[in-house]
Amino acid sequence: MHAFCAAAAFAQLLLLNHGGLFADEPAGLRAALDALDAEQRTLVVLRDIEHLSYEELQRVCDLPIGTVKSRLHRARMALHRHFSALQEGPS
């Protein structure tokens, strides 16, 4: 199995095992994570929930560290847009 596929499977397992992730989970976090593509969701879960270092992500996902950082940034921006839209409400 390709390293990134293994990382994605691991991230999905973590989400399933955490159930609601945490008791103080922000409203809509699960929906926001589900809206990300598999690669983005994997990076966010492994970095921001499981606290893997960038170097660990590089190894686990078999990606250059610059790619890890830029893709993680894009994923976080997508989450930001998701929550901003929720805050603004329906147009």
pLDDT for 4-49, tens place per residue? 555 665 565 555 555 544 445 566 778 888 899 989 998 998 898 8
Residues 6+ apart with CB under 8 A from 84: none
Give the Cα separation of 27 and 9 in Å (integer): 24
Residue 18, number of CB atoms within 10 A of its CB: 14
With 0.75 as the threshold, say if the pTM is over it: no
